[in-house]
Amino acid sequence: MTCRVVVLLSGRGSNLRAIVEARLPIEIVAVIGNRPQAEGLAYARERGLTAVVLDHTEYPDRAAFDARLADEVAQHRPDLVVLAGYMRILSPAFIARFEGRLLNIHPALLPMFPGLNTHERALAEGVKIHGCTVHFVTVELDHGPIVAQAAVPVRADDTPDTLAARVLAQEHRIYPQAIRWFAEGRLVNVDGRVNLKDDLASQSVLSPGT
């Protein structure tokens, strides 16, 4: 049975593009965006995917919007919900409804640098290694069980933009990989630690030498 995936996004959609181009054993049953102008929605339409706009500014508060969003997502009967640059905090009610089948990508090596402006903060701290993390979403922001990470070096001449670009290239590798593992039923969550079935040496740390 093909894994039915709903993608939520707010902007550019480069991770959506990487997921589509990876030709995974999944069916993207809907792409839902909270900003009508999101490039990711335009890309979804171009690819013939079902693209849905739910504009959060038309709702009185987060609870009302998230209730509508959750109903929309559920209507597509997803096995997996993928946050791909979805730039709104999800309410606990939404997360509870999809917990265990809700993935996010965060542009930092969690638990370092949860929240926004991760590349600026990494440069300000002078860390020498930065990266990205795919994790299951739980109510604590950017803290759920980690599925995959990729590390990149920080260069002395980096700006937030150059660092972001280096990290983004790795996001485009590990997000499709993590989704493939989920779709293949290979992710095993043991007490908040995610292992790869039949591979306890765990390939879930991806650390390119670039």
Binding site for ligand GRF (CB under 6 A): 9, 11-15, 40, 84-85, 105-107, 168, 171
Give me the half-sphere count of Cα atoms (radius 13 Å) on the Cβ side of residue 194. Answer: 24
Of 78 and 107, which has the nearer Cβ to ligand GRF?
107
- Cβ-based neighbours of 69, under 8 Å, separated by 6 or more: 8, 32, 34, 54, 94
DSSP SS3 for 167: helix
- Residue 201 CB, shortest distance to ligand GRF, in Å, is 27
- Residue 193 CB, shortest distance to ligand GRF, in Å, is 22
- Residue 36 CB, shortest distance to ligand GRF, in Å, is 15
Per the listing, tokens 């001449």 go with: 157
- Residue 197 CB, shortest distance to ligand GRF, in Å, is 26
Of 62 and 88, which has the nearer Cβ to ligand GRF?
88
CA 173 to CA 29: how far, in whole Å? 22
**Other CB atoms within 10 Å distance of the CB of residue 87:** 13
Instruction: Provide the 8-state DSSP code for 108.
Output: S
CA 122 to CA 78: how far, in whole Å? 35
User: Out of 106, 130, 135, 172, which one is annotated catalytic?
Assistant: 106
DSSP SS3 for 51: strand
**Other CB atoms within 10 Å distance of the CB of residue 141:** 13
Of 67 and 127, which has the nearer Cβ to ligand GRF?
127
Of 78 and 85, which has the nearer Cβ to ligand GRF?
85
Please say whether the beta carbons of 178 and 167 come within 8 A.
no
CA 8 to CA 86: how far, in whole Å? 6
Of 63 and 165, which has the nearer Cβ to ligand GRF?
165
Q: Note if 106 is an active site residue.
A: yes
- Residue 1 CB, shortest distance to ligand GRF, in Å, is 27
Q: Which residues are catalytic?
A: 106
